[in-house]
Structure 1
Amino acid sequence: MVSYTVVIPAAGRGKRMGADENKLMLSLRGKPIVTWTLEVFDTDPWCERMILSIRPEERDWFEAMTAHMKTSVTYVSGGEERQQSVYEGLKVVAHDTIVMIHDGARPFVTHEQLHRVAEAALHGGAILAVPVKDTVKQVEHHHIERTVPREKLWLAQTPQAFQAQAILNAHERAAEQKIMGTDDASLFEWLGESVQVVLGDYHNIKMTTPEDLLFGDAILAKEDLQ
């Protein structure tokens, strides 16, 4: 067993979702999206602690949503950007543990996937990812410049896992030099560190647009039938 702490940035807004509120508060089958996500970690015996980076004005809501959970929950104030929220969460993680960073809007990750990523992180950075299935075009002004070979292309997911001190160092350096990464692994790569890809699942989608709520409902319906 590899014990870990998870940092979940949860201070965003639902712009692409078209929501007036934090998209994590939106309902999926009668339960907030973030609750589905947190319950995956709360029921994983490998997870020792959950750290949520939130907007202070939403703390009461989050505390009510996690009141029934057994895993320790710590709240920190998030930033304007996801990277800043993650950084604030990493500051309160014990330096000698494995830390996972996971999107609060990705509720369909499984315990088996969490465990494989945690084990891989003992030897460096590790992320869940899936191979690109579609043909990829590089486009400029609505015209194709080239077709990108997809054999080596993967779609990054979360969680992304690291030795806590190592990823904290990466975030500290990035903050000092005002570097914004596309994800946490990109900051690790920027420092020349190795990141291993662990095969994920196409069901591990991120709730980003209104259509994703339909996909999420379909995934839950399929699980109910199994």
Structure 2
Amino acid sequence: MEIGVVIPAAGVGKRMNSITPKQFLELFGKPILIHTLEVFDEHPFITEINVVTNQENVKQVEKLIRKYNLKKVKQVVRGGKERQDSVYAGVVATQTEWVMVHDAVRAFVTAAEISALIRAVNDQQLAATLAVPIKDTIKRVNHAKIVVETLEREQLWSIQTPQLFHRKILLDAHQYAEEQNLVGTDDAMLVENLSIPVKVVEGAYTNLKITTPEDILLGETILAKRMKGSEQTT
């Protein structure tokens, strides 16, 4: 199956408290965005990659792609006002039958996790997402911050990316959302609006999204451990 990847990288990272967008912050001397792109560039089942970013960052992203010799990046697409708009622009630019959407700053996904997601889709299962079971007890509260109910933890999952969809399904979902003025917190939510089942594939807690300065420290720890493990196997 031909699989294209859309990497929305137009965020400004307000919670990072940095003037540099978080996708360009470095881990061990390499931008977070590049750590992310390399995983997909090296995966044998990925055909093409399209990066979506702000107009002012297009040249910077193109320069990084050339510097790190990323062979599968097809183009850098100008993003929209919101993440949803940017993803749609990236999906339109992608011509493969299947499209995977992945956060630019979720740099620690592994090839094995990507492969597991790919195995989950077929002619009957048109959408899937990585996720992990919730560890904490989750409570729903009212406007006064009073507990209304305690939710069944066994049924709750924390959704991650990548998410994988048949391209036509994803395009239909985005177009329907635009027509109905719907905003989704992720692309799976948009597909759910079409009553299409989304398969959950268990991922890993290390597949974190770098959002705050504390996440940088966690990310460095994850990478250091992986680098050490790689050295020990060579």
Q: What range describes the TM-score normalised by the shorter chain of this pair? A: over 0.9
Q: Which residue of 2 aligns with 1:70?
A: 71
CA distance in 2, matches of 1:127, 1:147: 25
Q: Which residue of 2 aligns with 1:55?
A: 54
8 Å CA contact retained: 2:28, 2:220: yes
Task: State how 1:15-30 maps to structure 2 within 5 Å.
Answer: 15-30=14-29
Amino acid in structure 2 at the alignment position of 1:127:
T
8 Å CA contact retained: 2:65, 2:73: no
CA deviation string 1:6-59 (max 9, x = no partner): 001111111011122321011111111101000001111111111111111111
TM-score for both structures, normalised by structure 1: 0.95
Q: Which residue of 1 aligns with 2:12?
A: 13
Give the alignment partner of residue 156 of structure 1, picking from 148, 151, 159: 159
Q: Which residue of 1 aligns with 2:171?
A: 168
Q: Which residue of 2 aligns with 1:116?
A: 116
Q: What is the Cα deviation at residue 143 of structure 1?
A: 2.9
> Structure 1 residue 129 and structure 2 residue 131: aligned?
yes
Percent identity of paired positions between Structure 1 and Structure 2: 44
CA distance in 1, matches of 2:108, 2:201: 16
CA distance in 2, matches of 1:61, 1:9: 15
Residue 65 of structure 1: SS of its match in structure 2?
A: helix
Q: Which residue of 2 aligns with 1:91?
A: 92
CA distance in 2, matches of 1:142, 1:177: 31
8 Å CA contact retained: 1:106, 1:206: yes
Residue 221 of structure 1: SS of its match in structure 2?
A: helix
Residue 112 of structure 1: SS of its match in structure 2?
A: helix
Q: What is the Cα deviation at residue 169 of structure 1?
A: 0.7
Q: Which residue of 1 aligns with 2:147?
A: 144
When the two structures are aligned, how many residues end up with a matched partner? 224
Amino acid in structure 1 at the alignment position of 2:102:
H
Q: Which residue of 2 aligns with 1:37?
A: 36
> Structure 1 residue 104 and structure 2 residue 107: aligned?
no
CA distance in 1, matches of 2:197, 2:150: 28
Q: What is the Cα deviation at residue 145 of structure 1?
A: 2.4
Residue 188 of structure 2: SS of its match in structure 1?
A: helix
CA distance in 2, matches of 1:199, 1:22: 29
8 Å CA contact retained: 1:98, 1:121: no
CA distance in 1, matches of 2:62, 2:34: 11
CA distance in 2, matches of 1:220, 1:66: 21
Residue 155 of structure 2: SS of its match in structure 1?
A: coil
Q: What is the Cα deviation at residue 177 of structure 1?
A: 1.4
CA distance in 2, matches of 1:194, 1:181: 16
Amino acid in structure 1 at the alignment position of 2:190:
L
Q: What is the Cα deviation at residue 224 of structure 1?
A: 2.0
> Structure 1 residue 206 and structure 2 residue 205: aligned?
no
Amino acid in structure 2 at the alignment position of 1:46:
F
Amino acid in structure 2 at the alignment position of 1:89:
G
Runs of 4+ in 1 over 4 A off after TM superposition: none
CA distance in 2, matches of 1:219, 1:179: 36
CA distance in 1, matches of 2:55, 2:38: 22
8 Å CA contact retained: 1:120, 1:196: yes
Q: What is the Cα deviation at residue 88 of structure 1?
A: 0.7
